[in-house]
Amino acid sequence: MPRPPSSQPTEVELQILRILWGQGASTARQIHNRLADVRDTNYSTTVKMLSVMLDKGLVRRDDTVRPQVFRPAATQQRTQQQMLKDLIHKVYDGSAGSLVLQALASQKASPKELAEIRQLLDELEGGEE
């Protein structure tokens, strides 16, 4: 039985979304030109990827202008939050704490990052010590 299609972006789709988040609404040609800087691809592949992303609801297309313009369907923050929720659910049995502990154990955090984490924990605890 085939797997249902994922609504989560693939690595290439994330690259395209990063382009759109960074430069805003863009034509397929503009997206392709930026994508070609980091990936060996041809224009027809970029157009196909945008079509797949449109079907998945990752981008929106303005058909009222020529050439058509693409925009991300969600903000970068919203996309990251959804992907993180899915990861926590699938890999960490719904435990955000397990994810955080694993992340901190696997890669050293900078002093600035640790300060931000402490601040967030303080906020979540209501500022109590």
Per-residue pLDDT of the chain (129 residues; tens, 9 = 90+): 665 667 789 999 999 999 999 999 999 999 999 999 999 999 999 999 999 999 999 999 999 999 999 999 999 999 999 999 999 999 999 999 999 899 889 988 899 999 998 999 899 888 554
Domain count, the chain: 2
Buried-exposed string 56-82: b where 16+ CB fall within 10 A, e elsewhere: bebbbbeeeeeeebbebbbeeeebeee
Amino acid (one-letter) located at 35: L
- pLDDT score, position 37: 92
Amino acid (one-letter) located at 103: A
> Which residues contact residue 72 at a Cβ distance below 8 angstroms, ignoring those fewer than 6 apart?
17, 20, 21, 58, 59, 60, 79
CATH number, residue 22: 1.10.10.10
- pLDDT score, position 11: 94
- pLDDT score, position 21: 98
- pLDDT score, position 52: 96
- pLDDT score, position 6: 72
Structure tokens, 73:
């369907």
* Single residue among 72, 88, 113 that ends a domain in this structure: 72
Domain membership of residue 101 as a residue range: 76-124
Quick one: 110 and 80 in the same domain? yes
- pLDDT score, position 2: 63
- pLDDT score, position 5: 64
Quick one: 21 and 68 in the same domain? yes
- pLDDT score, position 78: 96
- pLDDT score, position 126: 83
Quick one: 63 and 99 in the same domain? no
- pLDDT score, position 127: 57
